[in-house]
């Protein structure tokens, strides 16, 4: 039976099974599944993190293909997990339902918008935290909570029967405590791809510069040096201007798409949003044709540059975020400035539609962080197999966790 989940922290679950039972036996039988409250499940309301959305939309008659495939493969549906409103945030805060506690880094943000799925996974309430990633909503909470997480290639996993944010960039993703579970879920949801060769994988190291300092720290390099299956083929230096331009391009195209998707509903129902979400939506509503056209014209330039990094290279490696999760009491100005820097990193996969896997291999300022490995579009399953080879067990037991200060 599915019931509103009031007997535990509403900031993590919106709905939860009182006694989950399998509907099928399969390759992931027994793995517990938490589903971000954007995915439709037949007979269960979809709240999208906002009470006005919940009140103004009918209970779905359909189930998301991604959810159904996992259930058919034997996953146990534990419940639906909370999200930032309409998934339009990377912080993990929700003014209506609260902020899930980041138990891996007390006093810091859990990251969003797949915040409920991330925290439920980190707390061992679920084994697979299903979510979405448009501008970083899997990668960021995976980083902040010390989890493995994949943002898939655009279009490779169906987004049908799901509340969209910006359809041109929306992807399905998931988070797990182990690379093995991440790979097992991938074998259910992803098409087969040619695996990477057993020879050392050629890596292009992305050295992102912010405020005159490289985010590729000594700890990042130390971790890479300890991986015999990876070899640094070359380094790519990304100046701050390039990162800021990529962020602006992505945010503008995303914002226009968000308003085209949700503007009519917002104008009709006048929903109540948290201040940061409302500010972002007001900005999206006022993106003009000139700004949009400029972003469209520069998109191909960014895509071309990103594609060039793969010449004679198998994968990219870069820090997932600019640093540890921001503090819960950070000012709105601090968070907005951090968001712009953060999206310079997440925009790389977003603009080019690439798969990206977060690796929880570092600590920064006493909190989880890590690196991301990025593959060519469509190489998702091969990328997960590679990550599984790198991490046959918990990375915390097998890899250096020295502090990095970005």
The candidate with the shortest Cα–Cα distance to 320, out of 172, 218, 223, 216, is: 216
Task: Return d(Cα 244, Cα 249) in angstroms, integer.
Answer: 9
Strand, coil or helix: what is 212? coil
The candidate with the shortest Cα–Cα distance to 383, out of 239, 201, 259, 234, is: 201
- 């103004």: which residue's tokens? 56
| Percent of the chain as helix, strand, coil, to the nearest 5 | 35, 20, 45
**Is residue 393 among the annotated active site residues?**
no
Strands 13-17 and 2-4: antiparallel
**Is residue 106 among the annotated active site residues?**
no
Strands 148-151 and 356-364: antiparallel
Q: Tell me which of 11, 14, 36, 341 is the catalytic residue.
A: 36
Q: Are the C-beta atoms of 85 and 274 separated by less than 8 Å?
A: yes
Task: Return d(Cα 128, Cα 32) in angstroms, integer.
Answer: 6
Task: Return d(Cα 254, Cα 88) in angstroms, integer.
Answer: 10
Q: Tell me which of 89, 137, 247, 372 is the catalytic residue.
A: 137
**Is residue 113 among the annotated active site residues?**
yes
Q: Say whether the peptide bond before residue 66 is cis (omega within 30 degrees of 0).
A: no
Q: What is the DSSP letter of 87?
A: G
The candidate with the shortest Cα–Cα distance to 224, out of 320, 362, 344, 349, is: 362
- 């099928």: which residue's tokens? 24
Q: Specify which residues 369 forms β-bridges with.
A: 362
Residue 98: both structure tokens together: 């609260």
Residue 316: both structure tokens together: 């990219």
> Taken in order 28, 32, 38, 44, is the CA torsion positive or negative?
positive
Helices assigned H by DSSP within 190-274: 218-225, 240-269
Q: Tell me which of 11, 14, 64, 113 is the catalytic residue.
A: 113
Active site residues: 36, 113, 137
């Amino acid at each position: 039976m599915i019931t509103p989940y009031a007997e535990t922290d509403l900031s993590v679950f919106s709905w939860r099974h009182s006694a989950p039972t399998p509907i099928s036996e399969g390759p992931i039988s027994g793995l517990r599944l938490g589903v971000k409250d954007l995915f439709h499940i037949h007979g269960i309301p979809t709240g999208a993190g906002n009470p006005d959305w919940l009140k103004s939309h009918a209970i779905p008659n359909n189930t998301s293909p991604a959810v159904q495939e996992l259930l058919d493969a034997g996953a146990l549906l534990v419940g639906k997990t909370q999200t930032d409103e309409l998934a339009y945030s990377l912080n993990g805060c929700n003014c209506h339902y609260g902020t899930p506690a980041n138990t891996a880094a007390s006093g810091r943000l859990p990251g969003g918008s797949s915040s409920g799925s991330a925290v439920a996974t980190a707390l061992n309430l679920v084994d697979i935290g299903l979510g979405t990633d448009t501008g970083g909503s899997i990668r960021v909470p995976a980083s902040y909570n010390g989890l493995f997480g994949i943002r898939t290639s655009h279009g490779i996993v169906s987004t049908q029967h799901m509340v969209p944010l910006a359809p041109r960039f929306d992807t399905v993703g998931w988070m797990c405590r182990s690379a093995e579970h991440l790979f097992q879920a991938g074998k259910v949801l992803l098409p087969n791809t040619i695996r990477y060769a057993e020879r050392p994988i050629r890596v292009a190291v992305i050295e992102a510069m912010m405020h005159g300092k490289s985010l590729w720290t000594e700890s990042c390099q130390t971790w890479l040096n300890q991986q015999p299956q990876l070899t640094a083929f070359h380094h790519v230096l990304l100046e701050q201007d390039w990162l800021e331009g990529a962020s602006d391009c992505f945010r503008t195209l995303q914002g226009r798409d968000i308003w085209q998707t949700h503007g009519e509903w917002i104008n009709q129902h006048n929903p109540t949003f948290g201040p940061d979400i409302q500010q972002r939506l007001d900005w999206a509503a006022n993106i003009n044709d000139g700004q949009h056209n400029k972003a469209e014209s520069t998109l191909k330039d960014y895509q071309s540059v990103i594609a060039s990094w793969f010449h004679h290279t198998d994968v990219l490696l870069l820090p997932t975020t600019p640093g540890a999760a921001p503090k819960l009491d950070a000012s709105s100005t601090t968070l907005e400035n951090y968001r712009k820097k953060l999206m310079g990193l997440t925009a790389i996969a977003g603009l080019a539609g690439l798969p990206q896997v977060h690796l929880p291999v570092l600590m920064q300022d006493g909190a989880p962080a890590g690196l991301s490995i990025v593959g060519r579009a469509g190489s998702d399953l091969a990328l997960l197999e590679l990550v599984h080879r790198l991490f046959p067990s918990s990375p915390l037991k097998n890899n250096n966790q020295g502090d990095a200060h970005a």
